[in-house]
Amino acid sequence: MTATMQDTIERTIVLPVSRDRAWAAVTTPQQISQWFQHRWEFDLAPGAPIHFDFGEWGIHRGRVETVEPMDRVVYRWTHGDDADRSIPIDQVPSTLMEFRLENEGDGTRLTVVESGFANLPAELRDDSLRNNTQGWDEQMGNIQKFFETA
């Protein structure tokens, strides 16, 4: 039985870089924008607003929720139609993404937890899958390529 199923997903990867290098990659707007492949603009401070530019998926708001230097950062991002900026962000459907860092060997383990899917309205969940046409094969190829490069 999947009785323990939650509205959370968790992924993890070991990066062959130092803890502070990994921290910079997940907390510097310019760096995170590069690998995330969408533009993030924000100041790294709890409560600070985030401006996401998802290209054809539109402009979205977010908020820096938690900053624990070198350990953990939590960002909120809105889903669906977030065009009406007069609506407070807390009243717009959103999920949280948490980035957690731990030392592992010479590298750094990064764990991503995205949560809050149960609170998304039905139509948004389909939307959130639209951009999901690439499969596992390509993923494995990317990871393979990374280890060959590293």
Partner 1 sequence: MIASVAATSRDAGDVFVALADPTRRKMIEQLSVLGPVTITQLTEVFPISRQAVTKHLDTLSDAGLVDTERRGRERIVTFRPEPLHEAIDWVAAIEARWDRRLAALAQFLAAEANDRQPSTEPTQEGISS
Which residues bind to partner 1, rule: CB under 8 A? 1-7, 9, 11, 13-17, 21-22, 25-26, 31, 34-37, 104-107, 110, 112, 114, 117-118, 120-122, 125-126, 128-129, 131-132, 134-136, 138-139, 142-143, 145-146, 149-150
| Helical segments of the chain, H only | 19-27, 29-36, 122-127, 136-149
If the CB atoms of residues 45 and 129 are measured against partner 1, the closer one turns out to be 129
If the CB atoms of residues 4 and 91 are measured against partner 1, the closer one turns out to be 4
Separation of alpha carbons 87 and 78, rounded Å: 12
Separation of alpha carbons 26 and 31, rounded Å: 7
If the CB atoms of residues 1 and 86 are measured against partner 1, the closer one turns out to be 1
Contacts of 35 (CB under 8 A, 6+ apart): 25
If the CB atoms of residues 56 and 126 are measured against partner 1, the closer one turns out to be 126
In angstroms, what is the minimal distance from the CB of 140 to partner 1?
Answer: 9
Number of other residues whose CB lies within 10 A of the CB of residue 99:
19
C-alpha closest to that of 104 among 44, 7, 46, 18 = 18
In angstroms, what is the minimal distance from the CB of 63 to partner 1?
Answer: 20
In angstroms, what is the minimal distance from the CB of 85 to partner 1?
Answer: 25
In angstroms, what is the minimal distance from the CB of 73 to partner 1?
Answer: 14
Separation of alpha carbons 31 and 21, rounded Å: 11
